[in-house]
Amino acid sequence: MTTVTSSKRGLGLGRKWKTKDMLLAFVLLIPTFYILFRTFIFPIVQSLMWSFFHYNLLDRSPVTFIGLKNYTDILQDHDFWMSMYYTTYFTVISTAVELTFGLFSALLLNQVFRGRVIFRVIIIIPWAMLTLVNGLLWKWIYQPGYGALNVVLHHLHLLAPGQDPLWLAGGQQVINSVIVADVWKMTPYMTLLLLAGLQAIPTDLYEAAIIDGAGFWKKVFYITIPQLKSMLIIAIVLRIIGAFRVYDILTVFTGDPTTSVSYLTFNYAFRYFYLGKASAMAWISTIFVLIFIVMYIRLLKKNEESI
Across the chain, where does the E strand assignment appear? 53-54, 64-65
| Cβ count near 47 (within 10 Å) | 18
- Same domain? For 281 and 154 the reply is yes
Is the pLDDT assigned to residue 238 strictly greater than 90?
no
Determine the 3-state secondary structure of 181 from DSSP. helix
- Bridge partners, residue 56, by sequence: 274
Q: How far apart (Å, rounded) are the C-alpha atoms in residues 94 and 74?
A: 26
- Residue 291's pLDDT is 85
- Same domain? For 32 and 84 the reply is no
- Same domain? For 158 and 76 the reply is yes
Determine the 3-state secondary structure of 260 from DSSP. coil
- Same domain? For 26 and 94 the reply is no
- Residue 232's pLDDT is 85
What is the DSSP track for 187-228?
HHHHHHHHHHHHHTS-HHHHHHHHHTT--HHHHIIIIIHHHT
Domain that holds residue 86: 70-306
- Same domain? For 25 and 170 the reply is no
pLDDT in tens, 249-267: 887 888 788 888 888 998 8
Q: How far apart (Å, rounded) are the C-alpha atoms in residues 87 and 284?
A: 13
CATH number, residue 135: 1.10.3720.10
Domain count, the chain: 2
Please tell me which residue, 13 or 290, carries the higher pLDDT value. Answer: 290
Would residue 128 count as lying in a domain? Answer: yes
Is the pLDDT assigned to residue 307 strictly greater than 80?
no
Burial class (CB in 10 A: 0-12, 13-18, 19+), 9: exposed
pTM over 0.75: yes
Would residue 7 count as lying in a domain? Answer: yes
Would residue 57 count as lying in a domain? Answer: no
